[in-house]
Structure 1
Amino acid sequence: MSLKKEAASGSDVDERLAALITNANAIRAIASAVEGTLGPKGLDTMLVDKFGEVVITNDGVTILTMMEANHPAARMLINIARAQQEEVGDGTTTATVMAGALVGSGVEQVTRGVPVARVIEGLRVGLKKALDFMGAEARPVTSLQDPVVRQVALVAGRSHEDIADLVVQAAIMIGQEKLKDPSFKFSEAIVAEEGAENEVFMGVIINKDRINRQMPRELSQLSVLVIDDALEPEEIDDEALSTESGFARYLQLQEEFKQNVQKIAGLGVGLVLVDRGVNDAAEEILTDAGVMVVQRVANKELRKAAEHTGARMIKRTGLKKAPDELKKFLGQADKAYNDEKLEQVWVLGGGGKPMATVLVGAATAEVVGERERIAKDAAASVQSAIKGGVVPGGGSLELAVAREVEKVREGIRGMAAYGVDCVVEALKRPMSQIVANAGFNPLEKLGDVIAAQAETGKNSLAVDCDSGQVADMLEMGIADPAIVKTYALRAAGEVAEAILRIDTIIKKREEKDTRKEMPS
């Protein structure tokens, strides 16, 4: 009887571990998909869809969001990476690799007999210490002229010097105050185009042509009207139109609409940006008046143009206002130019808020997307550095933090110490992977760096991926934004704890639509 009970108990343990191991394997599979891209010697990943379309990239979040992943735990990790990209714009690969290491180490401890609750307790202690130490190591960036700003752009921009220079130039144009604004995303200033020349300018790009070639191609010192609506007469439904009074109302609305459009021309407006379509009559009137009109402008671009020119967006019904009232809705710009080759309208020198655009050129269509992703990462990293300062890169800071967390372990009693060990292993993982991707032995190089950091007291020591020698990352110009590092570690900790807490996977029943079953 006792043997049966013992067997049943062992079976229960196996079932509980099965869910944990299944989830951990999914997390590790996701981490392994991106870890080869980490560091200056990281390689690219090719993503192929069912139609044979190919994307080749080194960008972690692009790989994660484009890859096919059906396992719930894998999707959880991908969502965490996506959230990091939205919040700080970089560091998704580091977060994913550390999450994989945390989960892997945690599962190893649990299979050895350490209760999950104790592992999680240790994780929390270790992560708190690590995050506090990382925050204390951050060096503030007080000027955009500081050479470290370009270095941050260069590291995040994967050593593309032209992109780093463009991003820094644009950052200086925008200014520190704007970069620190929580609602402003510097990465949204990046535009990549095939056949374009690298350029930074104060203005915005509308990715549409003017409606017709009879409209002016270029205008100077102009007023701008932004219509967050269609430039068409108000509609009447078919039923009302079939009546005499309805048809009379239709004719009245058509006439009122033409008067409103003529009012736009009479105000001397040079550029009209429209959210939706433009009526033929309006197109004809505005063409004759020498107005450049762009229709079906993306809402994001419409808002950026309004903000930059100082225009107040208006609905079509707002065009009924008196001319003096309507003038208050107009913005101003030094120049509007339709680049017919790129099929874009550039609005330069707006009278509203400063807004720089970084135009990144690409030789072929195949590399446009990757060039844009690289530039967006560089821009996001520069903004994060201005907000929260910089720390040494190359995995050096994480290794120094691991040494500090190991000291915490000495003061912890009980099995929670094993959870702290998981944090130590995860913190060693970035440098280990960077070194492995550069073709060196991770165990050997980590040992060298740990000894050198302890001996010199320099937390900025890591491995030069060209020579394999221990080197000072800050002296080499390898710096990362502190916010990216702390967010990555916090995100890894959150997903690891969530995965470790799951000990049962149950398939949800399909819920019936009860509304169909309700009596009429």
Structure 2
Amino acid sequence: MSVKQVSNNTEVDERLAALMTNANAVRAIASAVEGTLGPKGLDTMLVDKFGDVVITNDGVTILQLMEVNHPAARMLIKMAKAQQSEIGDGTTTATVLAGSLISEGVNQVTKGVPVSRVIEGLKAGVKNAVEMFQRHARPVQGVLDPMLEKVALVAGREHQDIARLVIEAARLVGEEKLRESGFKLSETIRAREGADNQVLSGVIINKTPMNEDMPKKLEEALVLVIDDALEPEELEEEALSTEAGFNWYRQKQQEFLENVRKIVALGVKAVLVDRGVEDIAEEILTDAGVLVIQRVASRELKKAAEHTGARAIKRTGLKRDPVDLMRYLGKAGTITVDEKLEHVCILQGSGKPVATVLVGAATEEVVGERERIAKDAASAVQAAIKGGLVPGGGAVELAVARQMEEVRRETRGMAAYGLDCVVAALKKPFAQIITNAGFNPLEKLGDVIAAQMEQNSDTLSINCDNGELADMWAMGVIDPALVKMHALKAAGEVAEAILRIDTIIKKREERADGGNNRGEGDW
């Protein structure tokens, strides 16, 4: 070999070094979660330095809790978090797809295909595949569509009790609410050790009354929501040392007491406060039989106001005329204090319908996993309402992969190799599901593709119980189309970003004063 050839090979190796390093890091992350995919997927145990253990099948939980230092691996984890934030389900699928896209991209580059051509084909392939997923989607016929129960059961990992709770909650809030961009059904989920499974037409405040003598149950109660502290207006200590300042303070104290008595006179029976409550206010309200909950989380405070029809008010707003103040009050049919679970239930509010799903767990160790399962099921049901349904079990991915192969045959130039990456990635979820079920993925892949082509079907896949061909739609193995579409889009974006990286350079450390640690003579 000539010196020139050796030099060229060295340059190629150097250019591929960053790509290979990043690809290996991504493969390691993908392999950490791929074993959980499918109905036969297994759990992962995560252990911290103190010996605390989390056992879970949830992809995003595994990714969030595992110790990761490599920047490319962190990019993949951020992608999974974005999938969780946007859709609430499909993080494992997105991670597996991204890992496959990057691995196949590296394989093409090492064969001599320019990275830019691989990326060009990959982007075009992802765009086409997403559009194909959309065309394969079947619309949902409202919240009463029985197919939604199948979606909840698949996403809820065959937990029938959780699936029933999620469907009941979805029907309670209604299709219009589920289609709202800012509403997430998964946020209605609460898991408690020792609780009974139930769907409440209301909200749960994870606080207890500030005084044990306050009522434990209220009927037809007026509710006041204070987005502030229930305390007198504050004055600087220096100002209190003057006579004018002291007189001002006494006047404000008197006004405050009048405002608290006004609350009682209005017939308010429950007061929810964002911050603290003054001792004298607690005493007056307790004597009047008013239930007071202080330091309520802002999210819970907002939900309570929405459900009861109350308008949140600042403490200065309590100066308003009683008639005007009445317009800020909400109403609840029932308010109960659960001393065992240490929370307050506000039910049958006169405002917007709100559902809270209370998921019971036998022990403290399984509370977190039960909640994660329920949140996945709720997110899947909401995604199905918004974007329709597709057959699961890897069936629709294989159908789209077959269509992509036809596009690939019509594509000229080296960008076609980027399309090959997308085709291979679309086959990966099916192969991993079959592997986790204990069957040969290559053998089953050929069987399914042949059967889909013969019957012109996008619903055929493998029954993971017996390894035989089966119609996923008929079996009730159904997924939300949005989960598939967003997972592929997110995987494509992170794959493109990582494939574009040509060099890895360590950033210099910045000093606390804004300078750098380099000496004056160092250049």
**What TM bracket, shorter-length normalisation?**
over 0.9
1:249-268 matches, cutoff 5 A: 249-268=248-267
* Residues 255-404 of structure 1 mapped to structure 2, 5 A cutoff: 255-404=254-403
Alpha-carbon offset, residue 13 of structure 1: 1.4
- How many angstroms does 1:354 deviate by? 0.6
* Deviation string, structure 1 residues 311-366 (Cα, Å, up to 9, x no partner): 11111111111111111111111011101111110000111111011110011111
Deviations 1:227-246 (CA, angstroms, capped at 9, x unpaired): 11111111112211222222
Partner of 1:68: helix, strand, or coil? Answer: coil
Give, in whole Å, the separation in 1 of the partners of 2:303 and 2:292.
17
Per-residue CA deviation, residues 384-422 of structure 1 (Å, 9 max, x unaligned), is: 101110000001000111111011111112221211111
Residue in 2 that maps onto 1:510: 509
* Whole-angstrom CA distance in 2 between matches of 1:515 and 1:121: 40
1:140-155 matches, cutoff 5 A? 140-155=139-154
d(CA) in 1 for partners of 2:52, 2:247: 54
Counterpart code for 2:70: H
Residue ranges of structure 1 left out of the alignment (5+ in a row): none
Aligned to 1:59: 58
State the 1:454 CA deviation: 0.9
Aligned residue for 2:200, secondary structure, equals: strand
Structure 1 match to 2:135? 136
Q: Which residue in 2 is equivalent to 1:465?
A: 464
Name the % identity: 67
Give the equivalent residue in structure 2 for 1:91. 90
Aligned to 1:74: 73
Q: What does 1:185-200 correspond to in 2, within 5 Å? A: 185-200=184-199
CA deviations 1:4-30 (Å, max 9, x no partner) are 443333222111100000111111111
Deviations 1:98-129 (A, max 9, x none): 10000001001101111101111111222122
How far did residue 462 of structure 1 move? 0.6
Which structure 2 residues correspond to residues 82-121 of structure 1 after superposition, within 5 A? 82-121=81-120
Per-residue deviation, residues 61-93 of structure 1 (Å, max 9, x unmatched): 111111111111111111111011111110010
**Structure 1 partner of 2:519:** none
2:489 equivalent in structure 1 = 490
CA distance in 2, matches of 1:12, 1:310: 68
Q: How many Å separate the matches in 2 of 1:394 and 1:190? A: 26
Structure 2 distance, partners of 1:387, 1:447, is 33
Residue by residue over 1:192-215, the C-alpha shift from the partner in whole angstroms, topping out at 9 and shown as x without a partner, is 111000001210000001111211
Matches within 5 A, 1:152-167: 152-167=151-166
Instruction: Please state how far the C-alpha of 1:247 moved relative to its aligned partner.
Output: 2.0
Counterpart code for 2:307: H
The one-letter amino acid of 2:262's match is: K
Separation (CA, whole Å) in 2 of partners of 1:433 and 1:457: 24
> 1:426: which partner in 2?
425
TM-superposed CA distance for 1:3, in Å, is 4.0
Report how far residue 514 of structure 1 moved.
5.3
Letter in 2 for 1:327: M
Cα offset for 1:169?
Answer: 0.8
Q: Which residue of 2 aligns with 1:205?
A: 204
Give 1:515 shift: 6.3
Secondary structure of the equivalent of 1:413? coil
Q: Are residues 250 and 516 of structure 1, via their aligned partners in 2, closer, same or farther at CA, if it must alter by over 3 Å?
A: farther
Q: Distance in 2 between matches of 1:200 and 1:214?
A: 29
The whole-number CA distance in structure 2 between the counterparts of 1:96 and 1:192 is 27
Q: Secondary structure at the match of 1:440?
A: coil
Hey, what's the Cα distance between the residues in 2 that align with 1:35 and 1:363?
A: 28
Q: Structure 1 CA distance, aligned partners of 2:125 and 2:259?
A: 66
Q: Which residue of 2 aligns with 1:222?
A: 221
Could you say which residue in structure 2 is the equivalent of 1:13? 12
- Distance in 2 (CA, whole Å) between partners of 1:48 and 1:248 is 60
Opposite residue 417 of structure 1, the aligned amino acid is A
- Shift in alpha-carbon separation, 1:94–1:515, aligned structure 2, 3 A: closer
Q: How far off is 1:516 after superposition?
A: 8.6
Q: Determine the C-alpha separation between the residues in 2 that align with 1:278 and 1:319.
A: 14
Uncovered stretches (5+) of structure 2, i.e. residues with no partner: 517-523
TM norm structure 1:
0.97
Q: Secondary structure at the match of 1:173?
A: helix
Give the aligned CA root-mean-square deviation in angstroms.
1.3
Residues 273-292 of structure 1: CA deviation (Å, up to 9, x unaligned): 01111111000000011100
Query: For residue 384 of structure 2, what is the amino acid of its counterpart?
Result: A
Question: What does residue 521 of structure 2 align with?
Answer: none
Q: Secondary structure at the match of 1:37?
A: coil
In 1, distance between residues paired with 2:137 and 2:505?
Answer: 44
Q: Which amino acid aligns with 1:328?
A: R
CA distance in 2, matches of 1:363, 1:488: 33
Per the TM alignment, residue 510 of structure 1 is displaced from its structure 2 partner at its CA by 2.3
SS in 1 for 2:164: helix
Distance 1:144 1:376 in 2: 17
User: How many angstroms apart in 2 are the aligned matches of 1:171 and 1:210?
Assistant: 30
